[in-house]
Structure 1
Amino acid sequence: KIEKSLRDLLKSRIVTSGPFKKGSRKKVLMFIGPTGVGKTTTMAKLGAIFALREGYRVSFITIDNYRIAATEQLKKYAEIMKIPVHVVNDQKAFKEIIEHEKAEIIMVDTSGRSHRNDLKISEIKSYADTIECDFEKILCVSANTKKLDLVNIFKSFDKVNFTSVIMTKVDETAFIGNVLDLADKYKKPIAYYTSGQEVPNDIDIADPEKLVSMMIGSINQ
């Protein structure tokens, strides 16, 4: 009975958004977050699901001009999935591609930014502010991030006005409560969580019941 009460309490504080849905207009998904959380791999997983499983026309854009390896990694995924990829260096080109690209879903990879670097976060915001279609900004955060760092990450990236959260690397920690706590505080739904490197597997739609089970499992360990 105590466990049921705990489950109900935890569930009441977890908001999920369900899978990303394609509406009648072109949809743009921008992936933001600190360095090393797995944004590029997460984007590739979802790109594979949209393109290969659900049959949407998908296009990738990267505005990450800082990490050559991440751009090459994205190009490799795109080649395997036969998804076009655009490497963009400025906002004008970015806006033009968004406007003229025939894809139904456009997925944007951004450079990993330290939450302490306000200038670079403002740069991501300025790219985001040019978009005028059905647009979601997704904050990717690692489940194994320390609480204080998470507090600062949410605070810094809130300037970009992100719409939902993807929790990565849940397989690398026994405790996911900090991310859920911050998402609740900022009233941002959890969309997905990832648990490995395999594309397009190792990603799940966030479900309150499953997330609570993971939390209680960590308490009981």
Structure 2
Amino acid sequence: MARKATKKTTKTKTAKRPRLGRWLFRWWLRVVSVVFLLMVAVVLLYSVVNPPTTIYMFQESRRLGGLDRQWVPLKNIAPVMARSVVAAEDANFCNHWGFDLVAIRTAIEEGSGRGASTISQQVVKNVFLWHGRNWSRKALEAVMTPLIEALWSKRRIVEIYLNVAEFDEGVFGVEAAARHYFGVGPEELTAVQAARLAAILPLPKERSASNPSKSVRRRAAAILDGAATIDADGRATCFQS
């Protein structure tokens, strides 16, 4: 009788383990589904509603006691500004779905000195995520980047990028940057001014658009040519009206 009872107990424990595993898997699946649906909902919301702030902006605002930032629609920004940041950061922006595979392959071949982050990836990082390098952030970025490409227009991606990018300590967005560096509105930016603003990214705290170093001047000159090139060859069509 004792042996039979032992066998019955063992079978019961064995039966409980698969059931527990299935229960945990179902709950994990539900959590992942809810998180994904929340991401879709937020991305859809920001396709029509301007992001009021970001995690990094909130942190900087607390540290500095405030920020210089004013949202401006893309139609009120000099077109050359949009072309300049695309030429500087992601010349093939109109030709990919969020990841520039050619740039990634080149970055791998040349080593870590060359960046391959697209404007879409930078928007995801700046608007939805936190700064830093870890696998969890990279995983979320990999999921959300094609999501914004699917749910936002290219114009919307550029518009949000220009309004959340940091251009100096406490200076966020092209409207604040144009007035901070040149004393003009974003619609009045010249090609040279736009190129210099694009040239200080992604290290605005170490570079100046109004008092550029030799390296910034060289980079701005290259961006000036690049902006004209993507305008001429059609690589700016997707975000220009």
State the TM-score, normalized to the length of structure 2. 0.22
Larger RCO (CA within 8 A; separation ≥ 6): 1
Which has the larger Rg? 2
State the TM-score, normalized to the length of structure 1. 0.23
Higher helix share: 2
